A and B are shown apart, each in its own frame.
Chain A
Amino acid sequence: AAKAVWCPACGLAALTPTTRRDVLVALAKQSILSKLHLPDRPNITQPTSRGALLTALRRIHAQQPVGTAPSPGLPHPGVGEQEYEILSFAETGSSTSRSVHLDFHFTRELAGSTEILQATLYLFWAVPSPGMHPITIRFVHPDPTGGTTPEGGGETRLEVQRDGWATLDVGQTIQNLFKQGGQRLSVELEVMEEQGSPLLAVHNDSHRPFVAARARARTPHRVQRR
């Protein structure tokens, strides 16, 4: 027993091979879940389709070719700091001929324990006629009563000129959302004119809107030198 205090693996030798295997598998499971801050293994009811995933990965890689340095101004991860890359696909809410509502959900574990380094919203547009098409984008934060407050998240304008993917920096918006303890990012897209306005591809699986984010595990006692 005294030796086991010093050598955690010593006890394994005394176990039968089957028991030893069971202990190690249990240890591996526990270790992975605790490092991912998950209380239990996630139950996946609606896995993202392969088409949507591959398109998203191609888009991200097209913007950041292999071997490129991180964007200027982004802090490098320190020793032992855990980084996450997150792909969140939109769930479509109510929509009209002029507006679309998108929802992105982030888990409590990520929202509560990470800081956002970079986040980009990817939207695929089909443009029926050439020219500039202005689109208003509103970020809506849920209020405590379960409703939404459009004022909470800010508003921005996007100009769409041709078919294809458009990107928007949403790093600060998600960081603010996490700071307020939120887990759901709601986005309302509104086109100006009804005729000849660009269409957002939301139902085509390989053109599903998504957010690609880089986050870092928040260290409780970070000391900064001024």
Chain B
Amino acid sequence: DSCIQFTRHASDVLLNLNRLRSRDILTDVTILVNRQQFRAHKTVLMACSGLFYSIFTDSLKCNMNAFSLDPKVDPEGFAILLDFMYTSRLTLKESFIVSVMNTAIYLQMDHVVDTCHRFIKSSD
């Protein structure tokens, strides 16, 4: 028995999902962060965030198509994390790293929190 493993498949699929997001194709939820709106796919959000997993597995909430996040969430921090979900690349801007880390805590993205924490400690 043998098999062919396409080593790029995961990144090829993620790139296509990000293309669908940027063209607003099959996006099924709007996330409201203060006055900014972000369109996304529930499946990608719940695959990457513990908070969204809890929301969209709740039978009372999973059919809603718009969610407002806590007003303490920084839209820029959320935008950076949403891009990370769809690209696997986390933008590190000195001025935003704390806000990204706090937003990742809120979204229950523990591995990103740990990585941000290590980055902050190393840059100190």
A in complex with B: no
